[in-house]
Every structure is written in structure tokens, then in C-alpha cells.
Amino acid sequence: MLKFTEEHEWLKIEGGVATVGITVHAAEQLGDLVFVELPEVGATFEKGGDAATVESVKAASDVYCPLDGEIVEVNEAITADPSLVNSDPQGAGWFFKLKLANPADADSLLDEAAYKELVG
Amino acid sequence: MDGSSELKKTPLHALNISLGARMVPFAGYEMPVQYAAGVMKEHLHTRASAGLFDVSHMGQVTVRARSGDNADAARALETLVPVDVLGLGEGRQRYALFTNDAGGILDDLMIANRGDHFYVVVNAACKEADFAHMQAKIGDTCELTLHDDRALIALQGPHAEAVLAELWADVSSMRFMDVRACDLHDADCIVSRSGYTGEDGFEISIPASLAEAVCRRLLDHPDVLPIGLGARDSLRLEAGLCLYGNDIDTTTTPVEAGLEWAIQKVRRTGGARPGGFPGAAVILDQLENGASRRRVGLKAEGRAPVRGGAVLATDAEDVVGTVTSGGFGPNADGPVAMGYVTKSAIAPGTQLYAGVRGKFLPITVAAMPFVKNTFKR
């Protein structure tokens, strides 16, 4: 199941675990990333919490946790090479895997059609 | 807040849009922050080849002595800046600072001697205030004109000379900080060999109606890419150059800012024309005795950029300063910053810590520029 947030994140949800990243639109808007800071595995976040930080040449931006949950895996490849987020934001440039506290909450997120409408 | 309807447009606005610029509000103008290539590629391209910048938002002012004697205009300007204007030769340009009575900096600017007048370029955000300041202080002796009828572009990078030489062969005879009038593509232009990137290059003032044609000619060259304000900022940061409003303002003096080199001997104590500019007592005293703090370069050890506003502390957690500009330096290949630190912490190599998102990251006082400048002296 592929879901989106209004904060330009995508979630690929399988068996109660969401792989989370930023959308193509977000990656384009941010520009070339030079630094990514990921959360610790085992950290828990509420929806909207600051889970990660990305920095372009120009500015820092927060990546929010899209739903309540616990971080079970992070993508160290993007801290080693932040440009992966720009080149493949919805694939190899994923950020973290989140074990959802309440998998049913995902129903409240946007589907792909609704997200596409949001970004025009 | 959508203020876009009130934003001014430069004479190159349509060209910027056609080049795929992402436009943002800056100093009351709608300006290109980046083009299709993006900030990183634009930055690297400028240092490797040649970049073209629209800086038409900056203020271009001519200062003409009412007496007809250009030395009177020089003397008038010397009452506003701690700089040797009288000794500035015809066809030469010099960096200067408008100071206030407390020794703070109202703006930084370039002053060029054009023979029968002076030509001054000031920051966009300050231009109205600068013009009013000049009008009030030297308007009785000088005729001042703010040239909104002219565009200003910068062509910067190691290939800039070769690119400009295709339009004007004489460019090769210019040295760093020379200023000449020339005819580019049938436009009456003023060219200076200067810039804001640390690279060799040129700043070119062009009549507004002809600016797009000149730019298109330059952009036709395969070595030239249009460069936005995003890369302009990272380029000047790597070059150790101040951004007015961030690194210098009315609360910083030229000495605190490490800009003593802009104050020639003749304007200092013991010189032929000491003082006579706003804040002279403070600035001359600091030149003799030093200031309590100073602007320094900073290199962070990790990969995380340290940005303006970050607090600087010692390992004993004493706060010793603040970062004023910082970001990622594409050619430095890491985070670079500048900021003000107390006198005890200004030595290159001093280990400090910068507060970033609740953590203190190691950062070292470092010499600037962070990249070697390539000016043609």
C-alpha cells in the first residue's frame, strides 16, 4: 500500500511496517542534498515529530514522522551519499522503516491520486 | 503572505523565466535563486568555467561634483567612508564601507573613479537608504543619480575573460579592480574586473533595454551557465566575503569585521587625511588597540552544515560567539562558516563547538578564504 502526506513524504506499508521517504516533488524543491541526519533505530515518534533532517546547499529542513511508531531500520546509504535522495527519492533514497503503532491510522493518509492533486 | 504583486522585476526578468529560473523574493525584487542546473552544479560550474549572474537589483549611483572638479566628489565621498577615494586613480575601483557615528556599517559598496565622476554600486536592500544618506550628507556638493535604467550582471569564473573577449577584445588588458567603458553588442556598458565569488571575472553595467541581448550573446557561449542567488551565496561564503545584513551591519565595525584592509593608511591616525568619516573615533581607536571580537572563518569537522545563528562555545561551555553565515561549500567539500568570536578565540586552529539542533558539533577557527582566489592582479 502506497500512501502520501501533505508534508511530501511517501510510505510503502507492508505488514504494519512503513518504509518512509520524501517524494520526487519534495526532492526537486529541496535541491541538491549535502547532509542527511537519520533517527536512531529504536527511537519512537509521534505523528509530526522531527524524525530526520536534510540539508541542501541553501537550507536545513525537517522530515516529520508521518504516523506514530518505532524506527526499526534506517538507510545509512543516504547519510553516506545524500545525493541518492535526489537521484532516486522514491526508491534507493528511502529514509527509515517505521513499525506503526496503529496500522489503521494509515487510512487517514493521502493516496497517490490525492497527493498528485495536492502538488499539481 | 503573498507580496509577489509588489515585487520589482529586473530588466532580465523575462530572460530569467525563459531560462527556467526558480524565482524568489529578495530585497524587494523577484530574483532567480537557481536555474535548471541547481545550486550545486551552478556553484561548481562557476569555479570551473564561467557563470552569468543577474545582479540588477543592486543600486548603481553616479556621484558628480557640482563644481565640475572630480576631486570635490572624492572629498565628499571621503566624509562617508573610511577609504582613500582621493587617491583612487581614474579607471580604478575600490571596496568601501558607509559607516555610522557609532562606527557600525551602514552598507558595503564599490567606488569607481570614472574620470569626470564616481560610480558607486551598493546593496539592493540598502540602496534607498544609502541614496538618502548620500543625498543628505553630500547632496549639496554632488549631483547624485540612482540608475534604475541600467541592468547589472556578473560574469565570473576562470573562463570569464575568454568569453567576454569574444565581444570585446580589450578585456584582456584589464587588471583586477580596473573599470572601463566599452561597447558590447552595441550597448554602452561599464565593465569592472571584480566580483563576489573569489574567482576572476567581471561586473557589467548595461542599459536596461539592451541587457537581455548582451546576456543572450554571453549565454550562447558553451562555457557559460546562468547562476542564481543560491550559488552566489555559497560562492561568496567559500571566498570569505561578507554578506551585508548577515556578516556585517550597523552593530559591527570594520575592524571587528576584519575589514581593516579596506581602510588605507592615509585615512588612519598618522596618515595625511586621518578620520573625517562617521564613527572615526571608534574605528581609529580599534585600529590602534584592537576590538573585543572579530569575524573569523570556521570549518566544521563533520558533514553537517553549521548555519547563521548557531552559538559558538568552548569545551568549557563558555559562549564565545555566534555564526553569521554558514553552509555547505561545494568546492571546500564540507561545511564552511564565518562568525564573530571574542578576542581570546580568534587564532586559527582554535577548537570550538557550534550548537546545531540541540547538539554541540566540533568546529575549528580557520583562515579564509576557504578556496584560493584567482584574481588577475
The per-residue pLDDT for range B174-208, each reduced to its tens digit, is 999 999 999 998 899 999 999 999 999 999 999 99
**Using a CB-CB distance cutoff of 8 angstroms, which residues of chain A are in contact with residue B335?**
35
Q: In this predicted structure, what is the pLDDT of residue B376?
A: 87
> In this structure, what C-alpha cell is assigned to residue B254?
570594520
| Buried-state track B41-60, b at ≥16 Cβ within 10 A, e below 16 | bbbbbbbebbbbbbbbbbbb
Cell of B255: 575592524
What is the tens place of the pLDDT at every residue in B328-348?
999 999 999 999 999 999 999
Task: State residue B4's pLDDT score.
Answer: 52
Partners of B39 on chain A (C-beta within 8 Å) are 31-32, 56-58
- Helices vs strands, H then E, count in chain B: 8, 19
What radius of gyration, in Å, describes the C-alpha atoms of chain A? 13
Residue of chain A minimizing CA distance to B238? A57
Q: Which helix (H) or strand (E) holds B50?
A: strand B50-54
Chain B residues close to A53, C-beta within 8 Å: 357
User: Which of B114, B104, B64, B62 lies closest to B82 in space, CA to CA?
Assistant: B104
What pLDDT score was predicted for residue B377? Answer: 83
The architecture CATH gives domain B4-55+149-238? 2-Layer Sandwich (3.30)
Q: Nearest-CA neighbor of A60 among B327, B342, B52, B201?
A: B327
Q: Residue B39 is nearest to which of A35, A56, A60, comparing CB atoms?
A: A56
Q: Across the interface, do B357 and A56 touch by the CB < 8 Å criterion?
A: no
How many angstroms separate the CA atoms of A59 and A50, rounded? Answer: 16
- Candidates B230, B303, B304; nearest CB to A57: B230
CA distance B303 to B155: 30
Given this structure, which CATH class describes domain B292-368?
mainly beta
Residue B377: closest CA among B170, B77, B124, B175: B175
* CB distance B64 to B51 below 8 Å: no
Chain A residue with CA closest to B41: the answer is A32
CB contact under 8 A, B230 and A31: yes
Inter-CA distances, B233 with B45, B150, B242, B244, Å: 14, 23, 10, 12
A-interface mutation test, from B23, B34, B40, most A Cβ less than 10 A away: B40
Give residue-wise pLDDT tens across range B67-119.
999 999 999 999 999 999 999 999 999 999 999 999 999 999 999 999 999 99
Domains delineated in chain A: 2-102 (2.40.50.100)
Cα–Cα separations (whole angstroms), residue B42 to A93, A115, B52, B192, B331? 23, 31, 10, 22, 12
Q: Which amino acid belongs to residue B70?
A: N
| Residues of A at the B interface, defined by Cβ within 8 angstroms | 31-32, 34-35, 37, 53, 55-60
pLDDT band of residue A120 (cuts 50, 70, 90) is confident
Residue A80: all three cell numbers together: 553516506
Count of H helices and E strands in chain A? Answer: 4, 9
Rounded to an integer, what distance in angstroms lies between the CA atom of residue B121 and that of residue A88? 44
The answer to whether the complex's ipTM is over 0.90 is no
SS3 B313: strand
Assigned C-alpha cell, B366: 580557520
Residues of chain B with CATH 3.30.1360.120: 4-55+149-238
The answer to whether the CB atoms of B234 and A35 lie below 8 A apart is no
Closest CA to B50 of B167, B201, B192: B201
Among B338, B328, B325, B327, CA closest to B364: B338
- Longest Cα–Cα distance of chain A, Å, equals 38
* Residue range(s) occupied by CATH 2.40.30.110 in chain B: 292-368
At B214-255, the pLDDT tens digits run 999 999 999 999 999 999 999 999 999 999 999 999 999 999
pLDDT tens profile A37-92:
999 999 999 999 999 999 998 889 999 999 999 999 999 999 999 999 999 999 99
What was the pLDDT predicted at B1? 45
Nearest-by-Cβ selection for A32 from B38, B305, B335: B38
B86 Cβ contact list (under 8 Å, min separation 6): B71, B74, B75, B78, B266, B273
pLDDT tens-digit series, residues A9-19: 999 999 999 99
Using the 8-state DSSP alphabet, how is residue B175 labeled? P
